[in-house]
A = this chain, B = another copy of it.
Amino acid sequence: MIERIAILGTGLLGTSVGLALRAAGYRGSIAGWNRTPEQAEIALQMGAIDSVAKHFLEVGRKCDVVLLAVPIHVTIDFMEQMAGLLGPHQLVTDVGSTKREIAAAATRLYNREGRAAFLPGHPMAGKERGGASLADANLFRGATWLFTTPREMKGTGFSPYHEEQSESAALAPEAISPRATELIREWRDWVAKFGAKIVDLDPARHDELVAWVSHLPQFISTALSALLEEQVGGAPELKEIGGRALREMTRLGASPFSMWRDIAHTNTAQIDAALQAFEQRLAHLRENLRTPALRDEFDQANRFRS
């Protein structure tokens, strides 16, 4: 049923989705739009899209599925601009790294009578540098693709909620049209064909979990890289001494602020809590450099990796 797809944002993720769709056998059209047209031209040359759109609203109106692959604040901005122009025969989905604010916007603006369906998504894949030219049809192979199916999709068969957290949040399933329900099913099938493992999570649980397993490691690597730049940045031969271990621990230090600003802004409390817990853990280890408690920390760390 999906015959026309619009990819709004042809950076690393958007362009990789286009390539993955083609590699998985998708034969419909893929229109691409990007704020800087050069990135869309690269995606076109790579075969990730087959046309470059001039304006995201125009192309969005004409497609069965609209994929938002732009920073989180732009995603919410586009959701607001598009909501009144799209219809119940359409599905909008995204790849944003935090999901509470996007899921709230989806409930507010989509997934109701006369409106398009919105399925918040988050592929746990990427590279420390962005851009269409680094895109890869296999970027999602073996990765987890999280969906935070909104509560109002209860009854459509996709929502994984086993227990009810808020009665008022459970809207009528007829808020999602049968056609949109089928588009959701098909989109999830394509994601599975990319080689990704689909996991459904509540939006709040999603943001809490990624604060631990994704945002915490990123901010640690950024702080470590920044500190070492101060300590040994002027002496490349000293960086080399650290070898593979140091390279790995600072690889994420190359990640761009432009992407992480929105994550820090939309998941502040959870990231703050994870960082504070880590600072306490590290201080505990430091205070026990010469006591037997150091063994307990190594033992527990070893268990995580076993």
Contact = CB atoms under 8 A, between A and B. Distances in A.
Interface of A: 124-125, 128, 143-144, 146, 197, 199, 209-210, 212-214, 216-233, 237-243, 245-246, 248-257, 260-261, 264-265, 268, 271-272, 275-279, 281-283, 285-286, 289-290, 294-295, 297-306
Given A228-B304, A261-B294, 18 more contacts: A199-B237, A210-B241, A214-B243, A219-B286, A220-B249, A221-B301, A222-B297, A224-B301, A225-B301, A229-B300, A250-B301, A251-B305, A253-B304, A255-B298, A260-B298, A264-B289, A264-B294, A279-B279
Given A301-B221, A302-B254, A143 B209 contact: no
B260 A223 contact: no
A252 B249 contact: yes
Nearest to A296: B226
Nearest to A305: B254
A286 to B, nearest CB: 4
A223 B268 contact: no
A144 B240 contact: yes
A230 B237 CA distance: 37
Most chain B CB within 10 A, of A220, A227, A255, A290, is at A227
A91 B20 CA distance: 60
Contacts of A124: 241-243
Given A278-B282, A304-B226, A298 B256 contact: yes
A281 B216 CA distance: 14
B225 A304 contact: yes
A245 B261 contact: no
11 contacts: A124-B242, A209-B241, A213-B228, A223-B297, A225-B305, A227-B281, A250-B301, A254-B302, A255-B298, A256-B302, A275-B285
Nearest to A123: B243
Contact of A245 (B252, B281, B290): B252
A299 B257 contact: yes
A246 B261 contact: no
Given A217-B224, A241-B124, A250 B305 contact: yes
Closest 6 CB pairs of A and B: A257-B298, A213-B242, A225-B301, A229-B304, A253-B301, A254-B305
Contact of A285 (B146, B219, B294): B219
A261 B219 CA distance: 27
Given A289-B271, A302-B256, A220 B229 contact: no
A124 B248 CA distance: 15
Contacts of A231: 212
A224 B220 contact: yes
A302 B255 CA distance: 7
A79 to B, nearest CB: 22
Contacts of A246: 213-214, 217
A232 B245 contact: no
